[in-house]
Amino acid sequence: MQVELTAADGHRLSAWCAGPDDAPRSLVMIQEIFGVNRHMRRLADHVAAQGYAVIVPALFDRVERGVELNYAAEDVARGRELRGKVPDAGVMADVEAAAAALPASAARGIIGYCWGGTVAWWGATRSGSFRAAVGYYGGGVAGTRHEAPRCPVQMHFGETDASIPLSDVDAFRAAQPGVEVFVYPGAGHGFACEDRGSYDPDATALAEGRALAFLARHLG
């Protein structure tokens, strides 16, 4: 279901909602650089079926509304262009608006993929709204690895990710020994997206099992 949110600075954005209003656990789910596209909506619906209330804010609405990209080279370039125009402070304002829209009685977590993996890390370090955070292949986490998380964090990376060298993963792990970090042998960037050529169903299943167990542990 599509809804409209209003951030603290007055910006209005759309969001995709899934799951029951009385769910005991809830998640803000953060998009890749391709917008709230078919993959993100399908993923939100899948996680909601596990008993979560899920909301996916359209972070690109600050630049262009209704963005839904695919995974061709020109879409990657367009997604990077859009992401470069969205201020980090605006991202976090939209994340907070999404968190506030979740059921008040549900324990809140944040999960993100690609760019969203970095934003999920910021959700742990720059927000007090979440009790747990999970990030998949967030390329920006190494650059902000010295920020202090306010909740438990779990991270997932592909061993052969061309955009996130293992040296970045090692640097993050060294800076954050309290964070759970998993690397998936042979998996590339975007390994959990069924619409990408890099999709790895085995790594996806293993990561999802770990993520759901982690969230259940910390969200109660």
**C-alpha separations of 177 from 1, 149, 181 in Å:** 39, 11, 9
Convert 173-195 to b/e letters by CB count within 10 Å (16 or more is b): beebeebebebbeebbbbbbbee
What kind and span of H or E run contains 17? strand 12-18
> Catalytic annotation on 170?
no
Q: Are 155 and 128 in contact (CB under 8 A)?
A: no
> Catalytic annotation on 189?
yes
> Catalytic annotation on 146?
no
Tokens of 127: 């927000």
Q: Are 130 and 124 in contact (CB under 8 A)?
A: yes
Identified catalytic residue from 61, 161, 168, 200:
161
Q: Are 156 and 148 in contact (CB under 8 A)?
A: no
Identified catalytic residue from 17, 114, 151, 193:
114
Task: Find all residues with CB under 8 Å of 32, minimum gap 6, and list them.
Answer: 39, 40, 79, 113, 114, 115, 116, 190, 193
Identified catalytic residue from 39, 156, 189, 218:
189
Q: How far apart, in whole angstroms, are the C-alpha atoms of residue 190 and residue 40?
A: 12
Active site residues per annotation: 114, 161, 189
